[in-house]
């Protein structure tokens, strides 16, 4: 009888302990960050995708496959195709966007252009000797994959919101968080898919 009561009391205490841990975590996060310039504390608020991917057990547990698929579906639904029907812009501007890592920090003016910082994670142009390797090499992207409608639309979607294909992708959701506007995405598309881009030479 005593064991039953003890186990029941322990189980009842778990949600309370979990709530207290969450409260302590929230306080710690808010005490470690401050609003400055355009960077407000609202950046600490996580949407469903971020909450799911912040829990490390969700990254490798097959029991979360259905939830992962649901999150990918939700993110796919946020993607908007180009308003003018044009997917390909100017690859020269695309290279500048890929090189730039500026924007959306507290010291940047609100409304100023945000860069893609693509080289932080990818090799793109072999002429650039400094690049990251978190993401795959994009050298010869169009040349290797072709320029079909399917490749173009997939590339557009992936730049817009990569979590539509991989719920916990490390790649930023550029359109979802308004990091890149439509024209900038068209220009990055050109860098990857224009046959005249040095990436495809």
Apex 23 CA angle, 14 and 9, nearest 5: 15
Q: Which of 160, 186, 182, 187 is nearest to 171 (CA)?
A: 160
* Predicted pLDDT at 59: 82
Query: Which of 100, 159, 102 is closest to 128 using CA atoms?
Result: 100
Angstrom CA distances, 198 to 83, 92, 117, stand at 27, 10, 18
Give the per-residue pLDDT at 13: 55
Q: pLDDT tens across 92-148, in order?
A: 999 999 999 888 888 888 888 889 999 999 999 999 999 999 999 999 999 999 999
pLDDT at 56 over 90: no
Contact 147, 195 (CB under 8 A): yes
91-200 maps to CATH 1.10.150.20: no
What ranges do the domains of the chain cover? Answer: 1-33, 91-200
């Amino acid at each position: 009888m005593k064991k039953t009561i003890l186990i029941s009391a322990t189980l009842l205490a778990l949600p309370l302990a979990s709530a207290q841990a969450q409260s302590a975590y929230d306080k710690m996060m808010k005490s470690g960050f401050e609003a400055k310039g355009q960077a407000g504390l609202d950046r600490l608020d996580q949407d469903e995708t971020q909450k799911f991917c912040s829990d490390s057990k969700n990254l490798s547990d097959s029991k979360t496959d259905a939830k992962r698929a649901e999150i990918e579906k939700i993110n796919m639904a946020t993607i908007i195709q180009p308003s003018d029907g044009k997917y390909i812009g100017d690859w020269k501007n695309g290279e500048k966007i890929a090189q730039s890592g500026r924007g959306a920090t507290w010291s940047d003016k609100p409304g100023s252009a945000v860069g893609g910082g693509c080289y932080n994670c990818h090799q793109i142009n072999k002429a650039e000797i400094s690049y990251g390797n978190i993401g795959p090499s994009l050298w010869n992207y169009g040349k290797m994959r072709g320029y079909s409608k399917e490749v173009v639309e997939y590339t557009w979607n992936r730049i817009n919101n990569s979590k539509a294909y991989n719920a916990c992708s490390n790649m930023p959701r550029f359109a979802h968080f308004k990091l890149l506007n439509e024209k900038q995405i068209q220009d990055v598309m050109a860098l990857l898919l224009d046959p005249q881009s040095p990436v495809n030479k």
